[in-house]
Chains A and B, each alone.
Chain A
Amino acid sequence: MFDGLTAPALEAILSGVPQADLLAVRLLDQLPSRPGSAPLPDAELARLVEATAELMAYTHACQTAARRLHNLPPVPLDAPILEFGL
Chain B
Amino acid sequence: MTPTRPLHTLWPGLLDALRSHPRARLALAAAWLDPLLLVDHDTLDEYPYYTGGLPDEQAGLLYALDIARRCLPELYAATLDRTRRGATPDELEDAFCQALKARYDFMDIDSYEELSYGVPCAWSGLEPWDPNFPDHYPELEAILRDAFGLRRHEADDEFAPGDLSAARDAALLLVRSLAAEQRQPCADLGCLLLWLFSLSGNSLVDHTAEEYAEMGYEPLDWHPTVLDNVALAHRQAALIVEAANRALDHLRQDPQLAAALRRNARRALYLLAKGDHCHARFRWPGQPARRLPADGAPGTAEPDDPVLFLRHHHAAPDRARAD
* Tally of contact residues, B, Cβ under 8 A: 26
Cβ–Cβ contact A28 & B29, under 8 A? yes
B window 1-37: CB within 8 A of A? 8, 11-12, 15-16, 19, 22, 25-26, 28-30, 32-34, 37
Most buried by A among B29, B37, B74, B85: B29
Pick from B75-83, B197-205, B257-265, B278-286 the stretch touching chain A: B75-83
Question: Please, how many angstroms separate the alpha-carbon atoms of A59 and B29 in the complex?
Answer: 11
Closest chain B residue to A52, Cβ basis? B77
Cβ–Cβ contact B28 & A48, under 8 A? no
User: Which of B12, B73, B80 is the one whose CB lies under 8 Å from A33?
Assistant: B12
Question: Please, how many angstroms separate the alpha-carbon atoms of A49 and B33 in the complex?
Answer: 9
User: Which of B11, B26, B69, B73 is the one whose CB lies under 8 Å from A25?
Assistant: B26
Cβ–Cβ contact B29 & A25, under 8 A? yes
Looking at chain A's contact residues, is the secondary structure mostly helix, strand, loop, or mixed? helix
The distance from the CB of A12 to the nearest CB of chain B, in whole angstroms, is 18
Cβ–Cβ contact A52 & B76, under 8 A? yes
Q: Does B153 sit at the interface, judged by CB under 8 A?
A: no
Closest chain A residue to B15, Cβ basis? A33
- The residues of A with any CB-CB pair to B shorter than 8 Å are 19, 22, 24-25, 27-29, 31, 33-35, 38-39, 45, 48-49, 51-53, 55-56, 59
- The residues of B with any CB-CB pair to A shorter than 8 Å are 8, 11-12, 15-16, 19, 22, 25-26, 28-30, 32-34, 37, 69, 73-74, 76-78, 80-81, 84-85
* Other A-B pairs beyond A45-B78, A56-B34, A56-B37, 20, CB < 8 Å: A19-B22, A22-B29, A27-B29, A28-B25, A28-B28, A28-B29, A33-B11, A33-B12, A33-B15, A34-B12, A35-B8, A35-B11, A38-B84, A39-B84, A45-B81, A48-B33, A52-B80, A53-B74, A55-B33, A55-B34
